[in-house]
Structure 1
Amino acid sequence: MRVMKWSIIALAVSAGTTQFAMASSQDDAKGFIEDSTLTSKTRMLYMNRDFRNGAGNIAKPTGGFKSGYREDWGLSELLNYQSGFTQGTIGVGVDAFAMGTARLDGGAGRQGNGLFATKSDGSPEDTQSKMGGAVKFRISDTELKYGNQFVASPVFSTDDSRLLPEVATGTLITSKEIKGLELSAGRFTALSSQTGMARDSINGKGQPGLTSANIAGATYQFTDNFVGGVAASDVEDYFKKQYINLNYTLPIAESQALNFDFNGYRTTSDGKELLGDVDNKIWSLAAAYSLGAHKFTVAHQRSTGDSGYNYGIDGGGSIFLANSVQYSDFNQRDERSWQGRYDLNMTSYGVPGLSFMARYVKGDNISTTDGEGKEHEFDFETKYVLQEGPAKDLSFRLRSAIYRTTSNNGNDVNDFRLIAEYPLNIL
């Protein structure tokens, strides 16, 4: 699930534009060691899901389940090293990471939240670890990276919603030679899941894993307030996908602004059609009004075609839509959904680092074998980030979702998560 607060593309482009025919990033290279960074991120996640009916972990001999309650608690550590580039026309560097998890609580009868892999006896793993790296080259403002990496394309995005992120293996080229324009292209041949330590552990709902995914994209900052982006992918034997984003911010006053964010996908099955006949168009439009410490958002999302929107084999984060929220994505066949959201930043009230969010999403018109399906979800979230002291940037985040549906076999869920995270710059 992915929540679009503001367009991630708009933020990336506005933060990373370069000057054409001016000094390039490679001209400013200080050296392999001199520009190196080493960071760590410690994350503790407690998560429980209470399936009210229709789901569970331990099956009864007579049918159904003994329990629908899932509870996991774990700790993860991610070390990320990024070298600088060597000086000269062609800069060379490396990126590397090491990460691992430790289970603090959660047994075979309660697991299933995606925090830990499962051992042969059905119990969750106590510890897991993974390492990887990539080599990178840079000419001017164009960079090529090959190896293990984290990716954030709308059509191929590694997910980081649990203890550890997914990791993709392949090649990615990113070019920022012209001011305001960012171009990217890549080919990925493996994708490891958040609990799978193997190089290729993502599968498509029981089908073989990723064979290859070719992606391309472009974003352009037309003005300071308007950015647009397009992307496309070809995931071999699964589907082809196209994406578009338009994001516009209208400043009203010093502390007021109105933002519009449009996202759309078109997906069609390809090759062996390992996910069946995929045929879907889905789009969302969100309007957000910011007034000082307050932000009010309304959004509408609509899915059409012979199937719902499919993703996952191309990364668990490949759903840049307004109504992809904590539990549901509201992306089923023919579904229409509406969202109302309120954000409050307590900085203006003398408590910097404290924020609140409440959101309600309602979906209907879902095509099911039993007629029209409906679903709705209420989310509440609060987060506090320490602003100073030896534990500066340590954050605490509480997320709660109440989900109810007449589709998905009546799979009603209460979802609760408590997340503590501490990022640290070592070098």
Structure 2
Amino acid sequence: MSTLKRVHTTLALGTLCSISPTLLAQGFIEDSKATLTSRNYYFDRDYKGDSAQSATREWAQGFILRFTSGYTPGTVGFGLDAQGLLGLKLDSSPDRTGTGLLSYNPVTRQPNDSYSELGLTGKVKVSKTELQGGTLAPNLPILFASPARLLPQTFRGAQLKSQDIDNLTLNAGWLDRMNQRDSTNYQKITLASPNRRFNGAAESDSFSFAGGDYKWSDALTLKYYHAELADIYRQDFVGFIDNRPLGPGRVKTDVRYHISGEDGPAKAGKVDNRTFGVMSTYSLGAHSLGLGYMQLSGDTAMPYIAGSEPMVVSEGALSSEFLNPKERTWQVRYDYDFAALAVPGLKGMLRYLDASHIELPSALGGSDRSESEKDIELSYVVQSGTFKNVAFRLRHAWYRNDFAPSASFRDDNELRVNIDYTLALW
């Protein structure tokens, strides 16, 4: 394990030291690219009923500078990626912090005027196998680093990805620290624990994972992953995506099944969960209509890493994640592409989620609780002219439940507005 722990701290700098100036001038520089993303973000979650905090409401400006190198020539190629993040406060106050947009003092809740960080990722490639070490943002069924605020969540560690076998993508890795979306400090890895599900103070120095995606056919992709957060929980994921023609349109079926249990001393408490979800979407021209169902069984909620996005079929819901013990959730979603009405770049989405059979501690409402959410989203990307590729997105959610007032999730109306523009520097 000691050798593994040194990988993420030495690979990035070691990559630079191993590359000669001549090789830098070849594939490393020639195939590199750099972008600067400007993101203006307004977040407003207005709580209903009695609450110690009536709202979380902030407005911020973010900048994300990304450099991606090519690889040096030869059997073994070396490269280096870099990411610079900067968040600036436009409007906030101690009574409205907690949106995830801005860092703040945990004692006074005073928001910081700015926060920033730099991440480096060294990489080595042989054929179609790549090893990365340093700053990582996994996008896997057992861990998805959240990009859903002003700046993205990141992790520290090493990840191996191989596509040397036709139709098979293998992933394996090890992480020891996480950096939340509104933070500049790496910290030990913890569990999300809304509604007192787990001990959110329990920490781990090791999240390991392995698995892969196999393209069985042009229509069907199979997935399996195993992950362990040392001394806290272990998790297996089995799923598939099937996307094929049906009549004049196409039907996409997405099945996800997470099986979770305790690992070692179970520092965060008991973990016993199976989460099954299926989402089927039929697309015809500009229209897409989806119907989904998710059910949790076992004695606890589904565990996932704090700040990350749980990769279940309720993914993308704004105010809740619908992962309470015993919960059963139905959802319907409709998407429309306004290009069919001669407005290219404009898209809309409507979604409704309804959940029941929730089991909570008696202090939070007890058995047979329910929750629901209605979402609406409009997005537009400017197609031409001076502001070409400027992207606007407006999202509104109405969330309601019958939990006790002291529960983590409370009735709210939520509004998110963000304007993004990515400039290619070279």
Task: Give TM-score scaled by structure 2 length.
Answer: 0.87
Q: Distance in 1 between matches of 2:48 and 2:129?
A: 51
Aligned pairs (5 A) from 1:237-252: 237-252=231-246
Deviant stretches of 4+, over 6 Å: none
Q: Distance in 1 between matches of 2:188 and 2:116?
A: 14
1:323: how far off?
5.4
Task: Return 5+ residue gaps in structure 2 as ranges.
Answer: 1-24, 194-199
Superposition RMSD on alpha carbons, in Å?
A: 1.7
Q: Distance in 1 between matches of 2:388 and 2:278?
A: 36
1:293–1:348 contact (8 Å) kept in structure 2: yes
Q: 2:348 aligns with which of 327, 333, 356?
A: 356
Q: Distance in 2 between matches of 1:408 and 1:176?
A: 49
Match of 1:182 in 2: 169
CA deviations 1:15-52 (Å, max 9, x no partner) are xxxxxxxxxxxxxx961111101011111110111111
Q: Distance in 2 between matches of 1:406 and 1:121?
A: 31
CA deviations 1:56-104 (Å, max 9, x no partner) are 33xxxxxxxxxx1221000100001111000001000001111110010
- Give the letter aligned to residue 320 of structure 1: V
Cα 1:270–1:202 change in 2 (3 A) is: closer
- Give the letter aligned to residue 122 of structure 1: R
Q: Distance in 1 between matches of 2:280 and 2:329?
A: 14
Paired residues in the alignment total 387
Match of 1:86 in 2: 72
Greater helix percent: which structure? 2
Q: Distance in 1 between matches of 2:314 and 2:241?
A: 12
Q: 1:260 aligns with which of 222, 234, 253?
A: 253
Match of 2:291 in 1: 298
1:36–1:81 contact (8 Å) kept in structure 2: yes
Q: Distance in 2 between matches of 1:269 and 1:208?
A: 13
Q: Distance in 1 between matches of 2:109 and 2:43?
A: 19
Tell me, what secondary structure is at the counterpart of 1:344? strand
Match of 1:214 in 2: 208
Cα 1:161–1:85 change in 2 (3 A) is: same
Match of 1:166 in 2: 153
1:393: how far off?
1.6
Q: Distance in 2 between matches of 1:310 and 1:324?
A: 17
Q: Which moved more, 1:112-121 or 1:132-141?
A: 112-121
1:219: how far off?
0.3
- Give the letter aligned to residue 213 of structure 2: T
Q: 1:42 aligns with which of 38, 41, 44?
A: 38
1:284: how far off?
0.8
2:210–2:227 contact (8 Å) kept in structure 1: yes
- Give the letter aligned to residue 311 of structure 1: Y
Q: Does 1:307 align with 2:300?
A: yes
- Give the letter aligned to residue 84 of structure 1: G
Match of 1:381 in 2: 377
1:413: how far off?
1.0
Aligned pairs (5 A) from 1:183-198: 183-198=170-185
Q: Which moved more, 1:113-122 or 1:415-424?
A: 113-122
Q: Distance in 1 between matches of 2:100 and 2:71?
A: 37
1:201: how far off?
6.2
Tell me, what secondary structure is at the counterpart of 1:159? coil
Tell me, what secondary structure is at the counterpart of 1:31? helix
Q: Distance in 2 between matches of 1:210 and 1:341?
A: 37
Q: Distance in 2 between matches of 1:49 and 1:304?
A: 30
- Give the letter aligned to residue 213 of structure 1: F
Q: Distance in 2 between matches of 1:371 and 1:318?
A: 24
1:79–1:98 contact (8 Å) kept in structure 2: yes
Aligned pairs (5 A) from 1:19-418: 31-57=27-53, 68-119=54-105, 120-200=107-187, 203-204=190-191, 205=193, 206-253=200-247, 256-313=249-306, 316-322=308-314, 325-368=317-360, 369=362, 370-407=366-403, 409=405, 411-418=410-417
- Give the letter aligned to residue 38 of structure 1: A
CA deviations 1:198-232 (Å, max 9, x no partner) are 12265435414441101111101111111111111
- Give the letter aligned to residue 86 of structure 2: G
Q: Which moved more, 1:264-273 or 1:122-131?
A: 264-273
1:240–1:269 contact (8 Å) kept in structure 2: yes
Task: Return 5+ residue gaps in structure 1 as ranges.
Answer: 1-28, 58-67
Match of 2:21 in 1: none
Q: Which moved more, 1:206-215 or 1:69-78?
A: 206-215
CA deviations 1:227-251 (Å, max 9, x no partner) are 1111110101210011122111121
Cα 1:54–1:30 change in 2 (3 A) is: farther
CA deviations 1:302-356 (Å, max 9, x no partner) are 001100112124x512423245511111111001110011111001110000011
1:34–1:84 contact (8 Å) kept in structure 2: yes
1:213–1:233 contact (8 Å) kept in structure 2: yes
Cα 1:379–1:40 change in 2 (3 A) is: same
Tell me, what secondary structure is at the counterpart of 1:207? coil
Greater relative contact order (CA < 8 Å, ≥ 6 in sequence): 1
1:353–1:385 contact (8 Å) kept in structure 2: yes
